[in-house]
Structure 1
Amino acid sequence: MSNLISIREAAALLGKPNVVFADVRFVLGQPDEGRRAYGEGHIPGAVFFDLNADLSGPKEQHGGGHPLPPLDAFARKLGAAGIGEETEVVVYDDQGGSIAARLWWTLKYLGHERVRLLAEGYSGWSDAGHPVTRELPAPVARTFVARVNEALLADVGRVQAAIGREGAVLIDARKPAHYTGEDTSKYAKAGHIPGAINRFWEAGSPGGFFQGAAAQKARFEDIPVDAEIIVYCGAGVTATPNVLALAEAGYPNVKLYVGSWSDWVSYGENPIATGNEETPRQA
């Protein structure tokens, strides 16, 4: 089954039992904007998850800008939002999938397979004339049981071991100027993990419309399908749309480096590269 759902398919699920819509709108640098937008209008019945408050844990010396939340507490939040073992979840944002994909990945990591991302996003939904509301939902609480799938996660040690290793591919999802190190304004150190190639996440959702399998396969066609792929970004958020895109393209072994670049540079001994590395290393 696809990890994407169209607005036509999603509209057919409105009001059905055991379906939860999850609004994950968030604007990086404007932390209150997503919740404000949700209050102004959302898909009927949709619950809201905040990137900082719900999908991330507290920052520490290491772990990056958006570490995973405490899993027990997050499982309780999912249950309170009406998400149980058999619940079908439709996640959406208005940022090309870059935030909603973080919830998609986190649910997958916790063993919940029945989750799809609304390809056209909230604007696509509302522009098509589908209903929106300001009414807050009253979800029926369920029990969410986490079954963590560690195969979906990479930590700094796994990334260090992947550099130059045969069959391993590192993908940097940030914009090219951050990857090459030309833009030094955002991170403590500029550049990328040695050997990583650059696949800017926005290329997978031009105009905010998350593309399907054919388009995603074209983006990654130079990467062997049997490679062990580790994807990272700045803080473990905008890498997730690339993880979803790779899943759509049929890659079975894809991990998210949650700590990402902000974690990598927190270790003074970690190497840094600059410039372009166009070809996936299969040393």
Structure 2
Amino acid sequence: MVRILYGSCASVTSFNTQPEAGRRAYEQDHIPGAVFFDLNADLSGPKEQHVGRHPLPPLEAFALKLGAAGIGEETEVVVYDDQGGSIAARLWWTLKYLGHERVRLLAEGYSGWRDAGHPVTDELSTPVARAFVPRVNEALLADVGQVRTAIGREGAVLIDARKPAHYTGEDTSKYAKAGHIPGAVNRFWEAGSPGGVFQGAAAQKARFKDIPADAEVIVYCGAGVTATPNVLALAEAGYRDVKLYVGSWSDWVSYSENPIAMGNGLVSKTHKVSKQ
């Protein structure tokens, strides 16, 4: 049985400014049988001081939503969006975190499916409810303490999935503080899905070829969403010890004591840029 889930269709730059765009797009047309999951309402929990902009949803409540969507232990899940996998990968990772292994990403996304002439519909799905029992895999998750101890530790690699100008601190328009976590390397997530098509193992291996295969990898972005395509890409490339720092940069900069590195590698504990 295949259940296709639709992540939010809001553009990557409009997570918060157009929260209803994804649902409107889904209601207009979607893959037959698909059900809709929204980034803010379903895949994220309440914001607090130190959890970042898109913390994990309450797991028991989310498990009930999954069950209501027709997802049980044996359900094969295919996730898709129309944003290069940026949001669908968040659902992919969350299902993996909850112990559901039978989940894949539709590499070409919704536009690729539709443009290839595959069927679409505006008919809303009415799935048969199932019991979803979470089996949390904490090995997939990193918190701020683990990130702190990973800085400079042999065998540990931090990957920043944001666009280069945010990583270097040149673009100061989006975050309360500019820069990146000291020691992190930049691998912009969109490089793994040029033209909106998620690339296969060979291309993903080339993106991370300078990172040892046995490294302990922690991936972050701005708020724990666009890091997940890099987590998926690393899995495709054969890396087995990969964690998502869900709080990501928005959580890191909420601690005044956390160090920040700029594009030139200098580290500051107090560098701040007013959010515009």
What range describes the TM-score normalised by the shorter chain of this pair?
Answer: over 0.9
SS at match of 2:261: coil
Measured after TM superposition, the shift of residue 25 of structure 1 is 3.0
**Cα separation, partners in 2 of 1:276 and 1:84, compared to 1, 3 Å:** farther
Which structure 1 segments of 5+ residues have no match?
1-17, 278-283
How many corresponding residue pairs? Answer: 260
Distance 2:264 2:59 in 1: 37
> Within 2, Cα distance between the matches of 1:214 and 1:230?
21
Say yes or no: does 1:203 pair with 2:191.
Answer: yes
- In structure 2, the residue matched to 1:6 is none
Amino acid at match of 1:140: V
- Paired residues for 1:83-98 under 5 Å: 83-98=71-86
One-letter code aligned to 2:40: N
**Structure 2 portions without partners, runs of 5+:** 266-276
Residue 128 in 1 paired to residue 125 in 2?
Answer: no
Matched, 1:47 2:35: yes
Equivalent residue, structure 2, for 1:25? 8
Runs of 4+ in 1 over 4 A off after TM superposition: none
Task: Quote the offset at 1:276 in angstroms.
Answer: 5.5
Measured after TM superposition, the shift of residue 104 of structure 1 is 0.1
The equivalent residue for 2:242 is 254
CA contact (8 A) 1:25 1:92 kept: no
Q: Secondary structure at the match of 1:39?
A: helix
Match of 2:152 among 146, 164, 187: 164
**Partner residue, 1:14:** none
- What is the aligned partner in structure 2 of residue 146 from structure 1? 134
How far off its partner does 1:30 sit?
Answer: 1.6
Distance across 1 between alignment mates of 2:178 and 2:9 = 25
TM-score (ref. length: structure 2): 0.93
Query: Where does residue 72 of structure 1 map in the other structure?
Result: 60
Query: Is contact 1:93–1:122 with CA below 8 Å preserved after alignment?
Result: yes
Deviation of 1:26 after TM superposition, in Å, equals 2.8
d(CA) in 1 for partners of 2:99, 2:259: 33
1:242-281 mapped onto 2 (5 Å cutoff): 242-275=230-263
- Identify the residue that residue 102 of structure 2 maps to in structure 1: 114
User: What's the CA shift string for 1:115-148, capped at 9, x where partnerless?
Assistant: 0000000000000011111101110000000000
Paired with 2:176 and 2:164, the residues of 1 have a C-alpha distance of 17
- 1:276 & 1:78 partners in 2: Cα distance? 45
Q: Secondary structure at the match of 1:222?
A: coil
What amino acid does structure 2 have at the position aligned with 1:20?
R
Matches within 5 A, 1:6-25: 18-25=1-8
- Opposite residue 155 of structure 1, the aligned amino acid is D
Aligned residue in 2 for 1:13: none
Q: Deviations over 1:93-118 (max 9, x none)?
A: 00000000000000000000000000
Normalization by structure 1: what TM-score?
0.91
Question: In the alignment, which residue of structure 1 is the partner of 2:211?
Answer: 223
Residue among 83, 88, 102 paired with 1:100: 88
**Superposed CA RMSD:** 0.7
